[in-house]
Amino acid sequence: MDQRSLGLSGLQVSALGLGCMGLSYGYGPATESRDAIALIRAAVERGVTFFDTAEAYGPGHNEEVVGEALEPFRGQVVIATKFGFKNGVPADGLDSRPERIRQVADEALQRLRTDRIDLFYQHRVDPDVPIEEVAGTVKELIEAGKVAHFGLSEAGADSIRRAHSVQPVSALQSEYSMWWREPEAETLPLLEELGIGFVPFGPLGMGFLTGKIDATATFGAGDFRQIVPRFTPDALKANQTLVDLVGRIAAEKQATPAQIALAWLLAQKPWIVPIPGTTKLHRLEENLGGASVELTGSDLASINQALAAIEVQGERYPASHGRFVNR
């Protein structure tokens, strides 16, 4: 697989990474550790070198699985993890106090079976801790050799600039897809200005852009989409126009809708590295095929013109989650 550089940081990763969250958290019961490890190792065998996890996915369980899976390949891969929630539990609120950041780093190193975190993100901006203090703490961890690169997730422009002035930010991770294009207005120009890479999560619209979800869809216990406004039956029905568009393009390109959604993201900027997640080997292989789909300038212009005419319905998070986004 082609390699990409996350901005000007020098951090080289595969053009598509693997988001590992869904193996342990967010989409229902955790995948059996043995199966999760097999899937992660299958990704390595297919050229993936970038793996995303977090303390909060489990909590701790996902890091342990990722650490065990990647231990034999440690010199060949880049592992990203995150800090920022009390006790590693999002429902408990935010916590980016320096002592907590240091604790999370030490615990992550043990769970990941490594002596260095390649990319350490603040999972969400904490309004109770100045971002300069957060960046300074990660800078100390970098100087101590425990962390290689600093990242932010779902941070707003002001937070990104302030953090970057203390410790260069290598990557921003935020949601971005055909279904959620807000980063195009302010975030992408800022990242280009500062030389920061972009790692879109939810590149397949939490599964919606694959064409496998319609207004009749139901979600099992533990699947966070149960509470997401964009996944109500009315919103899914209203947004079907977007899925139909992606499906038509896929048919023209002899690709799948998922591959078109990923190829579209890859075509936006050379420093964008999506991290689709899956629990199934055939979906992993399908997703990775998106890196080989070429969209021409004419294709992209046609797609963007069509997207501009579609108004996506439904908020991406319930109101209770608003405190975790874009500070």
Lookup result for tokens 């006790």 = 87
Orientation angle between helical segments 98-111 and 131-143, nearest 10 degrees:
40
Distance CA 143, CA 141 (A): 5
- Asked if residue 11 has pLDDT above 80, the reply is yes
* pLDDT, position 317: 76
Would the pLDDT of 327 be above 80? no
Residue 253 pLDDT > 80, yes or no? Answer: yes
Query: Residue 40: which residues within 8 A CB-CB, separation 6 or more?
Result: 18, 20, 23, 51, 65, 66, 69, 70
H or E segment at 148?
strand 147-153
pLDDT band at 323 (very low <50, low <70, confident <90, very high): low
Would you list the domain boundaries of the chain? 3-205+269-292
Q: Which residues are catalytic?
A: 57
The model's confidence at residue 325, banded by pLDDT at 50, 70 and 90, is low
Q: How confident is the model at residue 321 (pLDDT cuts 50, 70, 90)?
A: low
Q: What is the pLDDT of residue 324?
A: 57
Percent of the chain having pLDDT more than 90?
A: 84
Instruction: Tell whether the model's pLDDT for residue 163 goes beyond 90.
Output: yes
Encoded tokens for 290: 């998106």
Q: Average pLDDT of 293-310?
A: 92
* Interval 204-232 mean pLDDT: 88
The arrangement of secondary structure in 3-205+269-292, i.e. its CATH architecture, is: Alpha-Beta Barrel (3.20)
pLDDT at 221 over 90: no
Give the mean pLDDT of 182-199: 97
Q: Model-level pTM greater than 0.85?
A: yes
